[in-house]
Amino acid sequence: MIISDFDYCLANDGIIYLVKGYYHPAEAVIAYPVYWPDKSGNRQHPTLGRYLKNVSDFNQRLFEIHPSYRSPAVPRQTPRLPRSQISHVWQPKQKMAQFMAEETTGPWRDLIDYLIRDASVPYENIGIFGSYLVGMHQNLAGRQIKDIDFVIYGLSNLKKVKKALPKLLRHFGYGPISADHLNYHSRKFGQDFKPSANSFNKTLANKWSSIQIKPGLLCTLRFSYLDDEIPPDPTSLPVKQLVQIKGLVTDDIGTNFMPRVFKIDSEGSVCSVVTYFWGFQSCVRNGDYVMVTGNLHQDGKTISVDKRSHGIKIISAAIKNSNKYCGRSQSYLNAGNKAAGSAGIV
């Protein structure tokens, strides 16, 4: 079975893992633990028993249990789950028939019906991930305790959704991510990263596919490439050294996928920024002027944001002309080395 982005894997240790991206080694998949077997957990699986959801971008608990799952390659913070340890796989598209049969009314069904009918997103290019996919969406009393998470497959379908979203919000009376939810997520993601290198209040506000259905209930549409659209692995080459650069975002479309990828122009030199961290979905927009802290790869044009001290910081939003903001005369690499102190790989 081909295992890919947004699939879930049940491992022999009982932990349920979420797969990240498309670039997996032959003997393992890049995936991180989401649901842990726990006799006191508040999630009840129909056959597997009780579970507790516990997610971390840095997975220290799992690395203590399975140190061999750690890899020196990007993404360094995400485990490599051996394929030999996988006992079951859930895939998002396989859940749609059950969803359509069970959820005949309500906001989740309204949303999907609208995307199919009015945004022309094919039914076969919609999937469900998260707790509903793995049967972990009910509490011990059998009541639903989680929203339903959707993934849209295909670059052309992403563009359809983005075009249709303003009308969708007006149609149902929904809104973009609320200030309360934005503050909550900024604290949630920001607590694990270096504050001076990040601006989660701004990067999360760029997450255009977040739909505030009502206070306290947010649905964020996620996106995945179709099999024939998957670009080459952007971090296939080893890292070289720590850099910090500033530049203008020129291509933001890749931030909607995993890993999140965007291009920046720093004084005429273009490089790609890549991160596997969940909270950076749709983190920048074309025209944003940003500071990026991360590791430069050996190709000299790829920077990976892959550690707590790394980050993406929006300095100014949607600036049309970056020239007046680029005060340094050295190249982007020299500027980065100066800012990082030529400190090597960090």
The pLDDT tens digits of the residues spanning 187-201 come to 988 999 999 999 999
Query: To which H or E segment does residue 243 belong?
Result: strand 239-251
Which pLDDT belongs to residue 294? 98
Asked if pLDDT for residue 59 goes beyond 80, the answer is yes
Q: CA Rg, the chain, in Å?
A: 20
The answer to whether the CB of 224 falls within 8 A of the CB of 151 is: yes
Which pLDDT belongs to residue 344? 60
- CATH number corresponding to 233-340: 2.40.50.1010
Q: Are strands 49-53 and 43-45 parallel, antiparallel or unpaired?
A: antiparallel
Angle at 61 between CA 56 and CA 64, to 5 degrees: 145
**Residues forming CATH 2.40.50.1010 domain(s) in the chain:** 233-340
Which pLDDT belongs to residue 324? 41
The first and second tokens of residue 54, run together, are: 């516990």
DSSP lists the bridge partners of residue 175 as 212
Amino acid 103 reads E
Q: What is the mean pLDDT of residues 61-84?
A: 97
Q: What are phi and psi of 214, to 5 degrees?
A: -160, 170
Q: What is the mean pLDDT of residues 111-116?
A: 97
Q: What is the mean pLDDT of residues 202-225?
A: 95
The answer to whether the CB of 22 falls within 8 A of the CB of 34 is: no
Residue recorded with tokens 């003997």? 27
Which pLDDT belongs to residue 159? 98
Residue 123: which of 92, 166, 169, 89 has the closest Cα?
92
Integer distance in angstroms from the first to the last C-alpha of the chain? 36
Q: What is the mean pLDDT of residues 283-289?
A: 97
Residue 58: which of 70, 50, 44 has the closest Cα?
70
**What is the C-alpha to C-alpha distance for residues 298 and 309, in angstroms, rounded to an integer?**
20
Q: What is the mean pLDDT of residues 220-228?
A: 97
Task: Band the pLDDT of 283: cuts 50, 70, 90.
Answer: very high
Asked if pLDDT for residue 329 goes beyond 60, the answer is no
Asked if pLDDT for residue 270 goes beyond 70, the answer is yes
Which pLDDT belongs to residue 141? 64
Q: What is the mean pLDDT of residues 92-104?
A: 95
**What is the C-alpha to C-alpha distance for residues 231 and 321, in angstroms, rounded to an integer?**
29
Which pLDDT belongs to residue 147? 79
Q: What are the angstrom distances between the C-alpha of 32 and each of 5, 16, 76, 153?
A: 12, 8, 12, 21
DSSP readout, 176-218?
Answer: S--HHHHHHHHHHHHTTS-GGG--HHHHGGG-TTEEEEETTEE
- For the ranges 14-18, 126-130, 269-273, 338-342, the lowest mean pLDDT is seen at 338-342
Q: What is the mean pLDDT of residues 142-166?
A: 90
pTM for this prediction: 0.91
Which pLDDT belongs to residue 216? 86
| SS3 call for 40 | coil
Which pLDDT belongs to residue 330? 34
Which pLDDT belongs to residue 139? 67
Which pLDDT belongs to residue 335? 42
Asked if pLDDT for residue 239 goes beyond 50, the answer is yes
Q: What is the mean pLDDT of residues 142-154?
A: 82
Q: What is the mean pLDDT of residues 322-328?
A: 39
Asked if pLDDT for residue 326 goes beyond 70, the answer is no
The answer to whether the CB of 134 falls within 8 A of the CB of 48 is: no
Question: For the chain, what's the residue count?
Answer: 346
Q: Would you say the C-alpha torsion 89, 93, 97, 103 has a positive or negative sign?
A: positive
The answer to whether the CB of 126 falls within 8 A of the CB of 115 is: yes
Which pLDDT belongs to residue 328? 36
Q: What is the mean pLDDT of residues 67-81?
A: 97
